[in-house]
């Protein structure tokens, strides 16, 4: 009861406007992400083409990532997030045309515009709460995000209900669901404009100012970021090869549609939302946020391999949910760790650098994973299990002494 009470009290640190923005944004973009895979499969996209779609999105985000971090640190965070949200929503209009070249263009534009809201959200949280509360607030706000994502995922049953009720085609229903969700996602702008943050100084958009801002990052911070970059690169490659294509995997192996996929993702999101709120206490019990992150994440790897050894959707469904929860539930501790050790004026840039190290191999992994999926359904998942094991082992070895100043 004491732990539950501290969790409930912790939500007082999160502004109501931030909660509203998080839920609205998570709901609609979870639904969009869920519908994309079955929509593209219905259009006739092969596993490789689906992987290529993801690779293009990640590759375009790579171009924008360093600039995104600088923009987030130097300009009005709320304003740049609003512009990016509008651009991301607009990219969905290209997908619903059904024209393959425009769909690939949508992936490019969506990836290009999507990096700012992602990086900006992390920094936004750091600007509305006290630093000593980061290890509590980041798990709480991620839990709220998971609730919104869960509701959006369960909404994946709506297209199936409409198809069965009105005898419409999946292609038509998926298209209009994407269009509607993209337009309504802009409602998140309303609470976003009401969030109060610390004003950031304006700067010239000159190349010199941009490069100089990165040179201003302390060497001690660069050393920590460099270690984390190696870890993120490995994790990014492993996740892109299989997890980012997992909807297509389940559709090919078990013939499921958006409803079943929505139940899968919605259930895992709700479980993560519940368990994330207790991660601060797990961190305190184990003695370190990083140690807690590594230990919890490691337990997911055997389950990833087990998915490839079963032929029952219900069993694979259960294994994947538990695996995903264990692999991701401690992520807020890692985010809080990052935000706490980086000076406030460099947090956007540091986040963009780390995301860049993850995105480059992800761009390769999405296409490669799609190609391997067409050869052997189980191969990408098994390779991912090996890569995850290596990456988490590396992270443990790098920080095992616990003497580094970056570990708080």
Task: CATH number of the domain at 220, please.
Answer: 1.20.1250.20
Q: For the chain, what is the domain count?
A: 1
Tell me if 22 is assigned to some domain.
Answer: yes
With 0.85 as the threshold, say if the pTM is over it. no
Query: What's the domain range around 385?
Result: 8-190+208-399
Tell me if 203 is assigned to some domain.
Answer: no
Tell me if 112 is assigned to some domain.
Answer: yes
Give residue 62's Cα distance to chain centre.
15
**Planar angle of CA 400, 402, 405, nearest 5 degrees:** 130
Could you read off the pLDDT of 122-158 as tens digits, one per residue? 778 777 877 666 667 777 888 888 899 999 999 999 9
Tell me if 407 is assigned to some domain.
Answer: no
Q: How confident is the model at residue 201 (pLDDT cuts 50, 70, 90)?
A: very low
φ, ψ of residue 42 in degrees (nearest 5): -65, -30
Is the pLDDT score of 63 beyond 60? yes
Tell me if 34 is assigned to some domain.
Answer: yes
Sequence-ordered list of residues with C-beta below 8 angstroms from that of 177, at least 6 positions apart, any chain: 31, 35, 158, 159
- 190 in Cβ contact with 61 (< 8 Å): no
Is the pLDDT score of 9 beyond 60? no
171-178 mean pLDDT: 94
Query: Tokens 């619903």 correspond to what residue?
Result: 96
Tell me if 408 is assigned to some domain.
Answer: no
Tell me if 344 is assigned to some domain.
Answer: yes
Tell me if 224 is assigned to some domain.
Answer: yes
């Amino acid at each position: 009861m004491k732990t539950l009470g501290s969790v409930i009290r912790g939500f007082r640190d999160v502004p109501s406007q931030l909660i509203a923005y998080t839920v609205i944004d998570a709901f609609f973009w979870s639904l969009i992400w869920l519908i994309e895979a079955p929509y593209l499969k219905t259009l006739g996209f092969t596993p490789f083409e689906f992987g290529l779609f993801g690779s293009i999105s990640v590759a375009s985000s790579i171009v924008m990532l360093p600039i995104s971090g600088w923009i987030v640190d130097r300009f009005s965070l709320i304003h740049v997030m609003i512009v990016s949200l509008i651009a991301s929503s607009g990219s969905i209009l290209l997908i619903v045309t059904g024209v393959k070249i425009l769909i690939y263009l949508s992936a490019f534009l969506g990836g290009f515009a999507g990096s700012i809201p992602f990086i900006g959200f992390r920094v936004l949280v750091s600007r509305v709460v006290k630093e000593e509360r980061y290890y509590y607030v980041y798990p709480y706000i991620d839990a709220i995000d998971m609730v919104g994502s869960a509701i959006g995922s369960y909404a994946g049953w709506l297209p199936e209900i409409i198809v069965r009720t009105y005898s419409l085609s999946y292609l038509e229903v998926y298209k209009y669901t994407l269009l509607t969700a993209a337009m309504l996602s802009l409602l998140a702008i309303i609470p976003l404009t009401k969030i109060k943050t610390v004003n950031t100084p304006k700067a010239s958009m000159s190349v010199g100012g941009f490069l100089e801002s990165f040179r201003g990052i302390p060497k001690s911070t660069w050393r920590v970021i460099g270690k984390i970059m190696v870890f993120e690169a490995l994790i990014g490659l492993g996740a892109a090869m299989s997890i980012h294509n997992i909807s297509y995997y389940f559709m090919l192996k078990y013939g499921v549609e958006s409803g079943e996929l929505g139940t899968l993702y919605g259930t895992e999101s709700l479980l993560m939302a519940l368990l994330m709120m207790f991660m601060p206490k797990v961190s305190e019990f184990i003695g370190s946020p990083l140690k807690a992150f590594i230990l919890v994440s490691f337990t997911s790897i055997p389950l990833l391999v087990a998915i490839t050894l079963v032929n029952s959707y219900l069993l694979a469904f259960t294994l994947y949910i538990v695996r995903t929860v264990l692999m991701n539930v401690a992520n807020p501790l890692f985010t809080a760790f990052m935000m706490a050790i980086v000076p406030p004026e460099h947090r956007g840039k540091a986040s963009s650098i780390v995301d860049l190290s993850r995105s480059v191999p992800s761009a390769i992994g999405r296409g490669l994973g799609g190609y391997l999926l067409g050869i052997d359904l189980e191969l990408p998942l098994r390779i991912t299990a090996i890569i995850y094991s290596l990456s988490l082992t590396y992270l443990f070895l790098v920080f095992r002494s616990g003497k580094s100043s970056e570990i708080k």
